[in-house]
Each structure stands twice: as structure tokens, then as C-alpha cells.
Amino acid sequence: MTIYIGLDLHSKRTVYVAQDADGRTIASGSVETSSRGLIGLLEDLGAAEGTEVAMESGTQATWAARLLEAAGMSPVVIDAAEVRAKARRRAQKSDLRDAWELCDGLRRDIYVKRVYVPPLRVERLRRALSRRRHFVEICTSQVNAASFLFRSAGLRRPVRYLRTENHWCCLCDAEGAEAFRHHLLLHFQVWLAARRAILELEEELAEAISCFGEESSLLQSLPGVGPMTSAAFIAALGCPERFGRSAEAASYIGLVPSGYDTGGVIRRGRITKSGPPYLRALLCEAAHHAARSSHPLNPYWRRICSRGGYGKAVVAVAHRMARILWAMWRGGRDFDVSMLNVERVSAPESSRRHIYRLRRSA
């Protein structure tokens, strides 16, 4: 008998609902959120190999999906926002109701936003990037806190950069910092601990990205893309086969404009920002390199910058970079400027000295 299972995962207990092919509820209840509890549930229900099990996206979804997949099931992780939007009674929420909505929606095949569960090596890369980003934010917050102490006392921070221990020592010994030197030392200790954690995580990140050495080197052949950007791109997308076109990859990252099309009125707004913000920020950072005349994407940047300004040009070039990186990864080839609609200027004008320009139509 074909059955469908919906799980509402929580830290201690998991609520479940099971239905048959006709939509009749054959079992419901709760089990312990652990390997023993979930495997025991499958045995009690007599779930056959390949049984589909639905759950919402969340902190424990990846772990549970891998556990169920190892047990021979077919886990389906649904975007939590879509589950709530398609619920029959959105004003009535309970754990049992959520599990029923998941089970019934899975049986009727109404869910579209199915969350990608990455393989272990991609998950390891994601975790290393995420933890490094966390401690980088801690370092930044300590630098900002030190600046606040000086500004609140009517002083300018005497040390421009706070990137090494020597910089912090000079800051703590600066003239005028006697009143709040104790607080500066506290921020310095937090910064130092976070900096040491970053160095450890960078070693872990180098080991994690070594599994993607060929892909990382390939992506870095695009000017402006470094090791961190290539690692974030691989970690976010997982594999290029997830997307049928480069436009879908750019949409997943959130670098496409929002749209409003109704009643003959078509409007384009700001980018959707629906994807990973860290990757989007790194791509925008890489797009700043296109402002240089030696960059192959400089003709695109100049054209958009002259019409919409520097900011729009950066976002537009980041969008183009995302599509180029996906195409390079999918095709397994290094960056080739001849694939772009640009040509090298044989004798650049002395006034501008542009190295690349858009190809002229015949």
C-alpha cells in the first residue's frame, strides 16, 4: 500500500501524519526527534522503500532528510513559506495541522518550492563559509565598537586600520584613550579570539574546497573572482545541473529585477534579493573590478553606468557575472572573452584608453 508521511520537526518532539493514496489518515501522533524515534516511526508504519516523506525547511530538515534517505525513503523538503501560503486554514495553526498539511499537500503534489538538500561535501563547505562569516562579523563589530568609544569622547580613532594585534596595541596606547582603555582591551580580547577562530576556519575551508579544486580554479579564471567568491558560488548552487538556464541561476541568487505585469502595465523594480545574501555581496564586490578599463566586462559597465549610475552598473555586472560563472561551470571551460559581445580595441584612443568595447554590428 502506498502511503504518504508528513513530519513537523521540532527540537524535542516530531508530530507526524500518514495518509493512504485516497487521502484517508491512517496514523498520527508524535515521536522523539532522534534517529531512533524517526526510524522507529517508519517501522511502525511499515513504510516501503521509496516512500515519500515531507517536511518543512528549517534547522533540522537537512539532518532528517539525510537520515530518511539512508533508510531508503524519499524525503521532500518544502519551503516553509509555501506550506503556510497553501494551507487550507491559515488562521488555525498547530503542529498536528502542519503535519497534516504537509502530508496532504505531498499526496496532491501541490508544492513547487522543494528545497535542495546538498551532499555532504557541499554541506561541509557551506558550514565552513558560514562559521567564517560569523566570526568576521564579530571582528567587524569590535572594530566598530572601538570607533564608537573614540567618537563618544569627541576623538577621532588615531589608528586607521585594526587588522593586526599591533594595530590594536597602538590604539589602546593612544593619547586620550585613558578614560576607556579598559573597554578597549575588552573589545581587543574579543577581536583576538574571533581572529584566531577565523584562521582555524580558513584552514578548514581550504580543506573543504580541495574537493572542488578543478571547479574553483575554473571559476577563478573570470577576472575579479577570487577563492572566496568561487567557494561561495559552489556552496550556494551545489551543482550546475540544478538549473536549466543561466537566468535561473541568477534568479536563485536574487540578482534579477522584481516584476509587476498586469493589465498591460509592466514595471521592473529592485532586485529580488531572494537568494544567499553572502554570495550576492561577493559578486557585487567582484563586479567593482569591471570599472577598470582592462576588465572584459568594462564595456557593459560603462554603458549601464552612463545611464543609471555606478550602483546600478555594479548590480548589473554582478548579474552578468553570475550567468557567466554558471555557464563556465556547466560547460567545464575557462573564461573566454571571445564568448562575450565585446572586442579588443587594437588602437585605443589616447583620451580614454579603453581596451575593450562592444562589438559593432555589421
What does the pLDDT read at residue 40?
96
How do the domains of the chain map onto residue ranges? Answer: 3-108, 120-215, 223-358
Percentage of the chain beyond pLDDT 70 is: 98
The tens digit of pLDDT for each residue in 219-249 reads 999 999 999 999 999 999 999 999 999 999 9
Distance separating alpha carbons of residues 5 and 51, to the nearest angstrom:
8
Grid cell digits, residue 99: 503535519
Contact 243, 257 (CB under 8 A): no
HEC per residue, 181-220: HHHHHHHHHHHHHHHHHHHHHHHHHHHHHHHHHHHHHHHC
The tens digit of pLDDT for each residue in 112-150 reads 999 999 999 999 999 999 999 999 999 999 999 999 999
What does the pLDDT read at residue 296?
94
Residue 328: how many CB atoms within 10 A of its CB? 22
**Mean pLDDT score across all residues of the chain:** 93
DSSP 113-130: -BPP---HHHHHHHHHHH
Distance separating alpha carbons of residues 344 and 294, to the nearest angstrom:
10
In order of 35, 55, 324, 358, the CA distances from 349 in angstroms are: 69, 61, 29, 15
**Ramachandran region of residue 87, left (φ > 0), alpha (ψ -120 to 50) or beta?**
beta
What does the pLDDT read at residue 134?
97
pLDDT at 267 over 90: no
At 357, the pLDDT band (50, 70, 90 cuts) reads confident
Distance separating alpha carbons of residues 310 and 237, to the nearest angstrom:
28
Distance separating alpha carbons of residues 2 and 24, to the nearest angstrom:
12
Residue 46: how many CB atoms within 10 A of its CB? 11
In CATH, the architecture of 3-108 is: 2-Layer Sandwich (3.30)
- Lowest mean pLDDT segment, chosen from 39-53, 264-278, 320-334: 264-278
DSSP β-bridge partners for residue 25: 19
Contact 282, 229 (CB under 8 A): yes
pLDDT at 354 over 80: no
Distance separating alpha carbons of residues 220 and 214, to the nearest angstrom:
10
The tens digit of pLDDT for each residue in 168-219 reads 999 999 989 999 999 999 999 999 999 999 999 999 999 999 999 999 999 9
At 82, the pLDDT band (50, 70, 90 cuts) reads very high
57-78: average pLDDT: 95
